[in-house]
Chain A
Amino acid sequence: MAAGRLVDGRPPDAGLPPVLEMSDIAKRFGATQALEAVSLTLRPGEVHALLGENGAGKSTLIKIMTGVYQPDRGEIRLAGQPVTIGSAAEAQRHGIAAIYQEPLLFPDLNVAENIFISHQGRGAVNNWRKMFRDAADILAALGVSLDVRSPARGLTLAAQQSVEIAKAISLNVRVLIMDEPTASLSAHEVAQLFKLVRDLRQKGVAILFVSHRMEEVFEIADTVTVFRDGRLISTRPRAEVTPQSAIADMVGREVGLLKARPAVAKGDTILSVRNLSREGVFRDVSFDINRGEVLGFAGLIGAGRTDVGLALFGIEPASSGSIMLNGKEISVRSPGEAMAHGIAYVSEDRRQLGLSLPMSIAANISLPVLRRFLTRLGLIRTGEERKTAEAFRKRLAIRTPDVDLAVGKLSGGNQQKVMLSKWLNTHPRLLILDEPTRGIDVGAKAEVHAMIGELAAEGIGILMISSDMPEVLAMSDRVLVMREGRQMGIFSREEATQERVMTAAMGQQEDAAA
């Protein structure tokens, strides 16, 4: 980034008193410390960028600011006064508003109604004329030309974002949180949005800007804060930050948190994927997986990694490209076909997609290959089913008094093991693991990692999608990085460093990071 950009960004006005101060905020979910000792200050007229990997704690912080979560510890001061933000409505009363990647408008209400949705008159009759006039005034002040009488349905995403911003202004917003507002906008629309942001800055609104697009952060931000693993790593004026230094802060954890999986002797190629694409979702993804190899899929959430997994498993088949399994070209149009080819997909969403929570452990494990457990009359051989479940319970150390227990009653880690058992029971040749250790405790995580190592050693090819950087680096023989539906590169174990992977995931040039 050229230093000339400074013309636009001004240093935050340190003279003004802060509008929002958060000090020593902590929040814990079960085994995960989502935030630890975070202190953040927002000043009027400041665009404050928040950077961090998935799971670094950005979303948790936003949810605390908007009253969705309550912090376990710490203090929030608004214009110097300590406050508690108990609900979204309370956040609004304090002048804190948030807009998200997908605008949350009511499609059948008109623009003016959407702008005033949270403070419409409580009388029986709306003063429509006044409402339309006020709405038009706000939009005019923003320099946006929109018909306030037209329904929100059919507005472009950018126009919808403008309505969201107008809504925030109508609430006399003092702090505006923008959570990846540009993720689905075109370059032109981003420019329009940034014009609005600059106007708001001029009006003295403090803006917290979350984005995974580094160039945007450097275009608009006055201050850059980096989060990592629930902690605030650095807060610096934009002029003192470079993309490289920001990435270094994002990934700069101590290496060796996880022990690297011993490499396995390389076998034959199991899977060859060439130019796999699904229109509008991902494009030209090509890679090989060998017997006994773990190929890590790294990238930010929404980069299209899961979509590649779903295409290989036939849930959302690819629209073009080729898939070769053991040297033969195959087409996968349904999960049934994928399973017939020996492909298994362990979902990232075990509660909705991976398991049937009200059903027993044994019933979940047998589900994909239920036919194997049927008599000739189609009745279930429950003894056989239970025996299989018992074997997996021992092998994966699933902690449960009984395999007839409903899966929903188990802890997250044990549910994860049941899900693994379910798919190992299909005897896969290619195992796709999507976020295999998300939301489970450290002990279970280590067990799952050991299991992945064992499976690879048995000769199964493993495609592991993970947003957990240490996990990706420790478990993978090679790492494929995706960003916004594109494959950014494949790194061997030696090449794959945190900085390199994150640089690719953020779309920065490799040479700039060197």
Chain B
Amino acid sequence: MNPVQRLIGWEGLLLALLAVIVAVNISYSPYFLGVENIVNLFQLSIEKIIVALVMTLVIISGEIDLSVASVMGLAACVLAWLYPMGVPMPLALLAALASGVLCGLFNGFWIAYVGLPSLAVTLAGLIGYRGVARILVEDRSIGNYPAWFNAIGQEELVGPLTISILVFVVLFVIVAIVLHRSGLGRLIYVIGNSPAAARYSGVKVRRVKMALFVASGFVSALAGLLYAARLGSVRGDMAQGFELDIITMVLLGGVSIFGGSGNFLGVGLSILVILSLRNGMGLANITGNTQTSVIGALLILSVLLPNMAQLIRNKWKGSET
């Protein structure tokens, strides 16, 4: 696809949408484009955005991971469970990350090696990992972490940027390079758009899928810890329901739910659209529920529009022959 085609395609549409939203937002509040507002915008959703990066890879490979938010919650709860027991903080953090990797291994085993559908396996994970998280901390809210931990989520490190945002920037670059420039990224696309051809070409489909789910588990755990650091306390229902926002970001970015297509330009734009839309609606005093409905409508459109174009094209062809 050349750049011109890309501009009149989905990414172009997102760019136009973004421009409209930004223009409207500025008319409501001249501070919208201020550095502080933009950083704040990112900071409020940074954990979801981080997970959306890996979710992009998972969905392009033709799978889905519904358990990400539960893994975020679980990792935070592992920390909240171990630290008050006297486990040193770094060790507790490692254990929390390891719990994410374990969840990823578990998902990946059933999906890649047993061949169960990821929708079912990770739905079970969504319920199961959340259950473990709740068992660990019950209905307490556990805080009082070392100051340096809270600083990770709150303190501005480089200019106005927090560690969370820096983690996002680094991850964005790495994941984008992996997807668009590396051999692994090539395999992710092939597995997504032609799974049978991938197997017939000697691609180790299972290993790639396993790697993706482990990466998804690890990054979700990392995001869960960043979230805990930002909030300063951990509860059993932490990050509950985040998976829907995360998947929305990816699909609105033009990544096909059937796998095999999509790119990081689209996902990046989609993140900006969602953030500025929510922010703008907040500025206009639109309630949270209405905001959610608007995002939902956008998501339906994002799935509908490309498919509709395809349907119309097919119909056209059908009437010709």
Contact = CB atoms under 8 A, between A and B. Distances in A.
Interface of A: 315, 334-336, 338-339, 345, 347, 352-359, 363, 367-368, 370-371, 373-374, 377-380, 422
Contacts of B201: 335, 367-368, 422
B200 A335 contact: yes
Contacts of A345: 200
The 6 tightest CB contacts between A and B, nearest first, are A356-B194, A335-B202, A336-B202, A368-B201, A353-B200, A367-B201
Interface stretch (B123-131, B181-189, B224-232, B299-307): B181-189
Contacts of B189: 356, 359
Interface of B: 177, 181-184, 186-187, 189-190, 193-194, 196-204, 260-261
Contacts of A347: 200
Nearest to A356: B194
A355 B193 CA distance: 10
Contact of A379 (B183, B196, B260): B183
A356 B193 contact: yes
A370 B203 CA distance: 9
22 contacts: A315-B199, A352-B194, A352-B197, A354-B197, A354-B200, A356-B189, A356-B198, A357-B193, A357-B194, A358-B194, A359-B190, A359-B193, A368-B201, A370-B186, A371-B183, A373-B183, A374-B182, A374-B183, A378-B184, A379-B183, A380-B182, A422-B201
B190 A356 contact: yes
A346 B204 CA distance: 18
A380 B186 contact: yes
B9 to A, nearest CB: 14
Given A355-B194, A357-B194, A359-B189, A380 B200 contact: no
Nearest to B187: A370
Contacts of B186: 363, 367, 370, 380
A363 B190 CA distance: 10
A379 B204 contact: no
Nearest to B202: A335
A379 B198 CA distance: 19
A373 B182 CA distance: 10
Given A335-B199, A368-B201, 10 more contacts: A315-B200, A336-B202, A338-B202, A352-B194, A355-B197, A356-B190, A358-B260, A370-B187, A374-B183, A379-B183
Contacts of A378: 182-184
A357 B187 CA distance: 14
B263 to A, nearest CB: 13
Contacts of B261: 358
A379 B179 CA distance: 10
A482 to B, nearest CB: 21
Contacts of A357: 193-194
Nearest to A369: B202
A345 B187 CA distance: 19
Nearest to A382: B181
Nearest to A349: B196
B202 A339 contact: yes
B217 to A, nearest CB: 21
A338 B199 CA distance: 12
A353 B197 contact: yes
B199 A352 contact: no
A373 B181 CA distance: 12
Nearest to A350: B197
A261 B184 CA distance: 42
A377 B184 CA distance: 11
A353 B190 CA distance: 12
Nearest to B190: A356
A370 B191 CA distance: 14
